[in-house]
Amino acid sequence: MSYVDEVIEKVIAQNPSQPEFHQAVKEVLESLRVVIEANEEKYRKDALLERLVNPERAIIFRVPWVDDKGQVQVNTGYRVQFNSAIGPYKGGLRLHPSVNLGIIKFLGFEQIFKNSLTGLPIGGGKGGADFDPKGKSDREVMAFCQSFMTELCKHIGADTDVPAGDIGTGAREIGYMFGQYKRIRGVYEGVLTGKGLSYGGSLARTEATGYGLLYLTKELLKLNGIDIAGKTVCVSGSGNVAIYATEKATQMGAKVVTVSDSNGWVYDPDGIDIAALKEIKEVKRARLTEYKNYRPNSEYHEGRGVWSIKCDIALPCATQNELHLDDAKALVANGCLAVCEGANMPTTMEATEYLQANNVIFAPGKAANAGGVATSALEMSQNSERLSWSFEEVDQKLQNIMVNICHNMVDAAKRYGCEGNYVAGANIAGFEKVVDAMTAQGIC
């Protein structure tokens, strides 16, 4: 049996009930097959893949807190410190009821390659809890965040592990966590990114993932002879990534006609009104049903359906496995040119394969959404030198990083004879640097 197949089998056997982790490992290792098979003997002897798929450390902890009725609630917190070969662990904290060890491991594993692709010195990690901030008062969110950080602070630090936001963890949650870290550890350091501007945050971090997605999408389309201006775009999600992807796509002259949340989706044939979207989601923290009050011409539909709308470019920006095979078929039938992932692993494996087989340009999340973590690394640099850069400076660096990622991904695919397969290209480019660093550091 080939080394790749052997390791995939082991991962499935040793990590039961972690389907998302199995999926992420399979997707990465399958696409690395050409590279691994060329070095099979050496990698096998060094147990390189076994070391890569086993986190350096996984911390699971109790998070007790008191709700507004005086009732004690208990959540489970996680931090998976996956790989520190190229820098301190870096990756977000997800707060969502669906969070479990398998989901955090899939995200942490993907993060290793994404962080490597940015060209910046950051290792891979991820964390979170099965806590749902939705419907909680500010006091309840603070109580949860303080309790969560009381335990987490023993394991992180500006030079060891620097968490950031993710689903459910925005500026409010990062602020509460940062305050608690400082109280307990007694140090003012850049231990978290995504901080507010008044206490060490970076300009353009809020926009970075969505903007970065569009910088990469534009460059990739350009390399394929397509201009983004004038194109129709479907976006899913209406959180941080979706909002700023919609904003930048619109600034580039494209028209975004959909957004969604976990209850339903909006179709606005005149183009999504970004000011309205921001007010609903960032200010009121409300549901998308409100959008019709701002734009009577728009439609609101319950459930899934974003991918049934005819578009040139699809940008899934909500969550994992939200674009299924049927959706991919609908997109192809409607003449979609490109799918670029704003979320982490939003496209199922069957859907990805179908899109690629039908010549749809497909940019995987680990390349396309790397702008968030890249700008987090720029926030770390600013914190280390105790200086703040202007919005334009950060945004320019972000653009350069995304264009570089795009070219590295395209070139790596070409080098290994799989031109146009950007999943393989992104994985290979990310993998090469990590393996080089792991090998140089000996067996550890």
Residues making contact with ligand NDP (CB under 6 A): 165-168, 209, 237-242, 261-263, 317-319, 322, 342-344, 369, 372
The answer to the question of whether 209 is labelled as a binding residue is: yes
The answer to the question of whether 240 is labelled as a binding residue is: yes
Ranked by CB distance to ligand NDP, the top (closest) residue is 239
Nearest to 28 by CA among 437, 436, 431, 444: 431
Task: Report the distance separating Cα 428 and Cα 32, nearest Å.
Answer: 6
Q: Is 384 helix (H, G, I), strand (E, B) or coil?
A: helix
The answer to the question of whether 90 is labelled as a binding residue is: yes
The answer to the question of whether 76 is labelled as a binding residue is: no
Residue closer to ligand NDP by CB (options 194, 425) is 194
Least spacing, CB of residue 253 vs ligand NDP, in Å: 23
Residue closer to ligand NDP by CB (options 7, 426) is 426
Q: Is the dihedral of CA 420, 335, 352, 164 positive or negative?
A: positive
- For 418, list phi and psi in degrees, rounded to 5: -125, 50
Least spacing, CB of residue 166 vs ligand NDP, in Å: 5
Distances (CA, A) of 55 to 77, 80, 264, 275: 16, 7, 36, 42
The answer to the question of whether 150 is labelled as a binding residue is: no
Q: Which of 105, 126, 231, 281 is catalytic?
A: 126
Question: What is the 3 state secondary structure string of 223-273?
Answer: HCCCCCCCCEEEEECCCHHHHHHHHHHHHCCCEEEEEECCCEEEECCCCCC
**Annotated catalytic residue 126:** yes
Least spacing, CB of residue 193 vs ligand NDP, in Å: 9
The DSSP-derived string for 63-91 is EEEE-TTS-EEEEEEEEEEEE-SSSSEEE
Task: Report the distance separating Cα 131 and Cα 201, nearest Å.
Answer: 24
Least spacing, CB of residue 54 vs ligand NDP, in Å: 22
Residue closer to ligand NDP by CB (options 54, 369) is 369
Residue closer to ligand NDP by CB (options 43, 89) is 89
Q: Binding site for substrate: which residues? A: 90, 111, 114, 165, 376
Q: Binding site: which residues? A: 90, 111, 114, 165, 209, 240, 376
- Residues labelled catalytic: 126
